[in-house]
């Protein structure tokens, strides 16, 4: 797996983000996730900031570790890695504001486009769900 936890400096990574809006949004999401999780951030791979960790194992035998919740300030958008499956997921997405979703990703162009309180709730509920289902 390419995405493994490492000791790279989270703040240095965020400072290196070229797009000023994405960089500032990255620091805001960092603070939000730290407050919600109570965990220290760790770099996963070269571009993902994650909190907590769980071990997965697929039926195929493939297994590894991933963060319980994470984000990455990518060129196209801010990518927030949240796992669907908790009760309020769809309701919260409906209240969030301008965004797109992928399988386990929430894509936000800029934080100004979304309701930050709703985003914080999405982060908290996803983190709590993942922590309780992956002890």
* Structural domains present in the chain: 5-133 (3.90.1150.200)
DSSP letters spanning the chain: ----EE---HHHHHHT-SSHHHHHHHHHHHHHHHHHH----EEETTTEEEES-EEEE-TTS-EEEE-SEEEEE-SS-EEEE----STTHHHHHHHHBS-EE-SSEEEES-GGGB-HHHHHHHHHHHHHHHHHH--
Q: What is the pLDDT of residue 103?
A: 85
pLDDT band at residue 1, thresholds of 50, 70 and 90? Answer: low
pLDDT band at residue 63, thresholds of 50, 70 and 90? Answer: confident
Q: What is the pLDDT of residue 122?
A: 96
What's the whole-model pTM score?
Answer: 0.93
Largest CA distance in the chain: 42
Does pLDDT of 57 surpass 90?
no
Q: How far apart are CA 57 and CA 95, in angstroms?
A: 33
Q: How far apart are CA 37 and CA 69, in angstroms?
A: 9
Summarised one tens digit per residue, pLDDT across range 6-55 is 999 999 999 999 999 999 999 999 999 999 999 999 999 999 999 999 99
């Amino acid at each position: 797996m390419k995405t493994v936890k490492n000791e790279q400096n989270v703040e240095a990574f965020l400072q290196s983000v070229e797009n000023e809006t994405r960089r500032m949004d990255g620091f805001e999401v960092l603070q939000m996730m730290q407050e919600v999780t109570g965990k220290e951030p760790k770099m996963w791979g070269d571009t993902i900031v994650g909190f907590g960790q769980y071990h997965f194992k697929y039926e195929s035998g493939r297994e590894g570790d991933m963060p319980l919740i994470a984000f990455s300030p990518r060129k196209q958008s801010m990518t927030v890695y949240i796992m669907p499956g908790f009760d309020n997921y769809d309701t919260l997405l409906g209240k969030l504001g301008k965004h797109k979703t992928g399988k386990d990703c929430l894509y936000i162009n800029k934080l100004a486009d979304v309701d930050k309180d709703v985003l914080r709730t999405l982060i908290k509920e996803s983190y709590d769900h993942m922590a309780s289902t992956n002890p």
